[in-house]
Amino acid sequence: MGNTAAEFLVASEQKAFETDHRRIINYNIGKYDAAVDRGLSRLINLDNAKKKGHAIKWKVMENLDKFLPEFESNFQKSGGKVIWANDAEEANREILNIITKAGAKTVIKSKSMATEEIHLNDFLESNNIESLESDLGEYIVQLLGQRPYHIVTPAMHLSKEDIAKLFNERFGTPLDFTPEQLTQKARELLRDKYLKADVGVTGANFLIADTGSIAISENEGNARLTTTFPKIHIAVVGIEKIIPSMADLDMFWPMLATHGTGQNLTVYNTILSGPRQPHETDGPEEMYVILLDNGRTNLLAQKEQRQGLYCIRCGACLNVCPVYKNIGGHTYETTYSGPIGSVITPHMRGMEEFKHLSYASSLCGACTEVCPVKIDIHKMLLLNRRDAVNSGVVATKEKWGWAAWKNGMLKRTLTDFLSGKTKNYFLRTFFKSTWGHFKEMPDVAQKSFSQQMKERDKSAE
């Protein structure tokens, strides 16, 4: 077992027994569930919409080599610049080049999982450039020195009391401040930063091929401020975010909003097609889109698991996953946690180090059921397990263990070879520390079912 897997087991066990964490997550996800149920009830034919979304994303992934150049060509016609980045290092280097060339010193960011993926904040800080998150949830976790807990709700693991305590320690606000008052304080602190920032950095929910545009959905208006005031706007976007046409937003926007937060639409939906034009009053003087690969083409090469790239990052699969709700988002030690993170991370960051995530599932199928683009998530997890075995990255002890179990299960004489007493001894000696430290180990019957049936038949004769 690798270090990452061993650390995951320790951290997940610890988090699963934190009652305060369980209380906060159950409360927050409970509110989410109620909102999403209301939102989904407004959709006339949900299954048909999911099938349509799946078909569009299938078309895109099968023709990515055509759609990405189409986007690039159309975006450049509007005066934008496209940069292709193979990995995190290349993306960070290109962003630093843009910032250095402009003589910039401050960056304001709106919520972006792609920038979390490349660890942009840490990179900029190491190069003496201030990078500030403007999304309220991201701002809170940045103040705490943490990573986002959830791909949609970064501070889902915190209660309002936790946030009031943080603001009290950092800004001297009263401990009894309401969520509205805390939000007002954050607004006061951040509003000035938009005016002073040299560069605005965002992600994008969708890349639109036929118009060369990016689409950003948000609820706070911070992305609009981030893309309007600074002279330079850089959007860091995964290559899988592309959709063929502006008309496709008609379906993807409501599906993303409903599955993400239960809303009909998020409050602000913005389409940006390049830097400010001569006839326009607002917008940046320069706009860049960094098309990020960072392991995505590894997943694209897997024909059976390619549909992991259909994900529109709504977070619905995290909110229904019994494993995620018990062990929390930080335990995964990945940018993308929960079921979809467990599918894509081994391909993006290496099967050997992250194969254990594909086993962190009960395979209940709830994730597949709620996915708005019908990704067969629990099947993908099984395929990852298969690939891990076939590529030989499983431990020797694990191979021997399963080989012994398989032989025992296939041959009745081997199953019955050891007595119940011996089996109980093995369970208590070798499995107590892993299976039985929170519960009593089961007692195996002294005689197997087949042995008991043989004896019963003999006595009957």
Please give the average per-residue pLDDT across 369-396, as a whole number: 93
Q: Predicted confidence band at 407 (pLDDT cuts at 50, 70, 90)?
A: confident
C-beta atoms surrounding 260 within 10 Å: 26
Given a cut of 60, whether residue 1 has pLDDT beyond it is: no
pLDDT at residue 78 in the model = 95
How many domains, the chain?
Answer: 2
**So what's the pLDDT on residue 325?**
95
Is 160 within a domain? yes
Each residue of 358-376: pLDDT tens digit? Answer: 999 999 999 999 999 999 9
- Residue 213 belongs to a domain with what CATH number? 3.40.50.10420
Q: What confidence score (pLDDT) does residue 439 get?
A: 78
| pTM to 2 decimal places | 0.92
Same domain, 52 and 200: yes
Q: Using CA atoms, how far apart are residues 403 and 23, in angstroms rounded to an integer?
A: 41
Phi and psi, residue 373, nearest 5°: -120, 20
292 pLDDT tier (thresholds 50, 70, 90): very high
Q: Supply φ then ψ for residue 213, to 5 degrees.
A: -120, 160
Q: Looking at the structure, do residues 101 and 243 belong to the same domain, yes or no?
A: yes
Q: What is the pLDDT of residue 445?
A: 86
Nearest to 305 by CA among 334, 342, 337: 342
Residue 455 belongs to what domain range? 396-460
Tell me which of 262, 294, 326 is where a domain ends: 294
Q: Is residue 365 part of a domain?
A: no
Residue 82, classified by CB atoms within 10 Å of its CB into exposed (0-12), middle (13-18) or buried (19+), is middle
What does the pLDDT read at residue 2?
63
**Domain end position, chosen among 278, 294, 310:** 294
Mean pLDDT of the chain: 93
Question: 154 near 140, Cβ under 8 Å?
Answer: yes
Report the C-alpha gap between 304 and 311 in whole angstroms: 15
Query: Is residue 284 a contact partner of residue 321, using CB atoms and an 8 Å limit?
Result: no
Whole-number percent of the chain with pLDDT over 70: 100
**Residue 210 pLDDT more than 90?**
yes
Query: What pLDDT, in 10s, does the model give residues 86-143?
Result: 999 999 999 999 999 999 999 999 999 999 999 999 999 999 999 999 999 999 999 9
Q: Is the pLDDT of residue 418 over 80?
A: no
Which one-letter DSSP state was computed for residue 321?
A: -
pLDDT of residue 437: 76
Lookup: tokens for 9: 């087991």
Tokens of 217: 């959905």
